[in-house]
Amino acid sequence: MAELLSVRRIWDHAPHNAFTDLLWSHDAWWCTCREAGEHGHVPAAIRILRSPDGDRWSSVAELTEPDVDLRDPKLSIMPDGRLMLLTCANFIDRRGRYLTRSPRVSFSADGQSWSSPAKCLAEDHWLWRVTWHDGVGYSVSKLGIGDNPRRGFLYRTVDGLEWDFVTEFLLPDDTWTASETTVRILTDGDMVALIRPDWIGVSPPPYEDWSFTRIGESLGGPNFIVLPGDRMWACARGRGADGRAATVLSRMTRHSYAPDLVLPSGGDTSYAGMVWRENLLWLSYYSSHEDHASIYLAQLRLD
């Protein structure tokens, strides 16, 4: 069972603050989010926040492209110790209508000075989150707009710029709904994927032979972490007791998903960053339950 120890709002400077990720590195906390006028496709910036202790937060960087909607920033630590930020550039016309998109990647040695976002992969791809293992980064790109069809492709990289195709996620029963995906690797080398809207996938190395389980929950912005003993905890947008949208922490195995705790949240919400540190789960997310969409940081004890 999860126990919520604390939660506080850490950032709300834009009209809409959303799509978070969280990292501990260089003896500090790093949180990133998208800042924009609204949830939909409008010009947007990526904000990077730093905190020495999780209480005091300050902005240290902003990444932008003129007239581009940058979305879903994700942080990771590269094998050489640099920080990497993966995001997606969505191009829109003057009326705010979506045109196309392509992934972007930036690098930093200190978390404060970042390289200009560089394009990677082809247009219409969206690399969502990278997980590093034995010097290789793995990420799933979602391809396709709308609910169906969507396709998911697993890629690998050693430098964050050049990505090699591994396999396509072929879901059972001719299903074409693969979308936002987080992958992690267990101690036996198996890769586990948590896939929006409602799938868990598992594959042994070299991650080309996947089996999929459909779960009884609809997920938005899925993330999960692997704790000692291969215990898995996940966080995504789900439903609270009242049936409304909420950010929900869940237990997870290779084949199951069980909601455990609803975080203080509602409305436009979810997209969590998760870090296990000093035997506590630190979790960033966004929510609009108090007023406008803002960034929150929670601490939880897990059994």
- For residue range 150-203, list pLDDT tens digits in order: 899 999 999 999 999 999 999 999 999 999 999 999 999 999 999 999 999 999
User: pLDDT band at 148, cuts 50/70/90?
Assistant: low
- 202-245 pLDDT, tens digit each: 999 999 999 999 999 999 999 999 999 999 999 999 999 999 99
Task: Please give the pLDDT value at position 150.
Answer: 86
Tokens of 284: 């960033």
Alpha-carbon gap, residue 119 to 89, rounded angstroms: 9
pLDDT of residue 97: 84
Kindly report the CATH class assigned to 2-302: mainly beta
CA distance 194 to 224: 8
**What is the band of 22 on the pLDDT scale with cuts at 50, 70, 90?**
very high
**Which residues, 6 or more positions from 200, have their beta carbon under 8 angstroms from its beta carbon?**
192, 193, 194, 212, 213, 215, 252, 254, 255, 256, 257
What is the rounded distance in angstroms from the CA atom of residue 52 to the CA atom of residue 29? 6
As a whole number of Å, the end-to-end CA separation of the chain is 6
Looking at the chain, how many residues does it have? 303
Give the mean pLDDT of 109-123: 95
Render pLDDT for 42-65 as a digit per residue (tens, 0 to 9). 999 999 999 999 999 999 999 999
**Could you tell me the two tokens for 261?**
């705790």
| % of the chain exceeding 70 in pLDDT | 99
- What is the 3-class SS of 220-255, one letter each residue? EEEEEEEEHHHEEEEEEEEECCCCCEEEEEEEECCC
pLDDT (0 to 100) of residue 146: 62
Which of 156, 102, 167 minimizes the C-alpha distance to 131? 156
pLDDT, tens only, 242-300: 999 999 999 999 999 999 999 999 999 999 999 999 999 999 999 999 999 999 999 99
Q: What mean pLDDT is reported for the chain?
A: 96
Higher pLDDT, 110 or 147: 110
Q: Where are the domains of the chain?
A: 2-302
* pLDDT at residue 147 tops 70: no
Residues 180, 150 contacting (CB under 8 angstroms): no
Evaluate whether 83 touches 77 at the Cβ level (below 8 Å): yes
Q: Three-state DSSP class for 154? A: strand
